């Protein structure tokens, strides 16, 4: 880790950079993941590096959608594994949903390293891609999924998703819940619920929301009133107003 002083105005952002770099060094994050992270950082800057009301609205809808799912699944890539291993495992435990490794760049046993990394953090159920389960409408190796996981799922929670696969999952009739800082990405536009926030802030809030929901009655009404389009529009308006000014 670099020695960023706590007093530095960009301390949190720089600490996250260290975490993602450490992910690359451990072999769980792809070097390409650094570029995706950089794009995320830019949008985080634009939204003011805080969870905004449009993200809270989406988190509520996401919690309901995931609780109502018959077969929810949590798809994990190298950035998510590096940034929020504990929170993603907690989410799986609360939802009783398995985690499934699904990545674009499969160099040097990275899938196994991610699985091991999650298990080291206490995950019990980590599904891996197989050739028995294959997604339609997609050509990259991200089409290889687990028959009991993403293939069977009705709701897929997939933070920091690639647009191609999000579209493929939707075409297959699955609901997609994503976390993506860019309200203009294809993922953000095609997902059923898009949480426009940094995954490090959004996941603890989502876990909390689900815990509170399951104590009360889970309501369909939240979903009936939810518009992902409206959430994306609010985010864009927020950005154009100048979050920091």
**Residues of this chain that bind ligand ATP (CB under 6 A):** 36-37, 39-40, 43, 83, 160, 162-163, 179-182, 185-187, 198-199
Q: Which does 201 bind (CB under 5 to 8 A by kind): ligand ATP, Mg ion, none?
A: none
8 Å CB contact between 95 and 62 = no
Interface mask (CB under 5 A) for Mg ion, residues 100-139, using x and -?
----------------------------------------
Please report how close the Cβ of residue 106 comes to Mg ion at its closest, in angstroms.
16
Q: Which does 102 bind (CB under 5 to 8 A by kind): Mg ion, ligand ATP, none?
A: none
CA–CA gap between residue 52 and residue 235 (Å, rounded): 8
Q: Is residue 41 helix, strand or coil?
A: helix
Give 142's contacts (C-beta < 8 A, 6+ positions apart). Answer: 102, 103, 104, 135, 162, 164, 165
- Paired with 59 in beta bridges are none
Interface mask (CB under 5 A) for Mg ion, residues 156-195, using x and -?
------xx--------------------------------
Please report how close the Cβ of residue 88 comes to ligand ATP at its closest, in angstroms.
12
Report the candidate in 196, 200, 150 with the shortest Cα–Cα distance to residue 176. 150
Tokens of 140: 């990259």
CA–CA gap between residue 161 and residue 154 (Å, rounded): 17
Report the candidate in 90, 121, 115 with the shortest Cα–Cα distance to residue 100. 115
Please report how close the Cβ of residue 144 comes to Mg ion at its closest, in angstroms.
18
Give 194's contacts (C-beta < 8 A, 6+ positions apart). Answer: 58, 178, 179, 180, 183, 187, 188, 228, 231, 232
SS3 content of the chain, % helix, strand, coil (to 5): 55, 10, 35
CB nearer to ligand ATP: give 35 or 147.
35
Q: Residue number with the shortest CB distance to Mg ion?
A: 162
CB nearer to ligand ATP: give 13 or 218.
13
Q: Which does 182 bind (CB under 5 to 8 A by kind): Mg ion, ligand ATP, none?
A: ligand ATP
Please report how close the Cβ of residue 212 comes to Mg ion at its closest, in angstroms.
33
CB nearer to ligand ATP: give 27 or 163.
163
Please report how close the Cβ of residue 219 comes to ligand ATP at its closest, in angstroms.
27
Give 237's contacts (C-beta < 8 A, 6+ positions apart). Answer: none
Please report how close the Cβ of residue 40 comes to ligand ATP at its closest, in angstroms.
2
Please report how close the Cβ of residue 218 comes to Mg ion at its closest, in angstroms.
32
CB nearer to ligand ATP: give 135 or 179.
179
Which chain residues interact with Mg ion by CB under 5 A?
A: 162-163
């Amino acid at each position: 880790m670099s020695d960023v002083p706590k007093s530095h105005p960009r301390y949190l952002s720089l600490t996250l950079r260290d975490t993602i770099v450490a992910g690359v060094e451990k072999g769980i994050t792809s070097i390409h993941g650094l570029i995706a992270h950089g794009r995320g950082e830019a949008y985080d800057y634009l939204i003011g590096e805080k969870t905004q009301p449009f993200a809270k609205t989406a988190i509520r809808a996401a919690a309901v959608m995931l609780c109502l799912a018959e077969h929810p699944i949590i798809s994990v890539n190298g950035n998510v594994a590096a940034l929020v291993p504990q929170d993603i495992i907690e989410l799986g435990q609360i939802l009783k949903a398995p985690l499934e490794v699904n990545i674009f760049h499969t160099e040097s046993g990275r899938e196994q390293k991610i699985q091991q990394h999650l298990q080291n953090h206490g995950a019990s159920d980590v599904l891996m891609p197989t050739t028995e389960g294959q997604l339609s409408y997609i050509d990259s190796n991200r089409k290889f999924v687990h028959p009991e996981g993403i293939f069977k799922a009705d709701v897929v929670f997939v933070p920091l998703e690639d647009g191609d696969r999000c579209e493929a999952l939707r075409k297959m009739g699955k609901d997609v819940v994503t976390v993506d800082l860019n309200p203009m990405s294809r993922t953000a536009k095609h997902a059923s619920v898009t949480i426009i926030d940094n995954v490090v802030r959004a996941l603890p809030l989502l876990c909390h929301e689900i815990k509170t929901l399951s104590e009360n009655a889970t309501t369909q009404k939240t979903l009936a009133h939810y518009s992902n389009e409206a959430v994306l529009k609010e985010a864009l308006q927020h950005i154009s107003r100048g979050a920091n000014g």
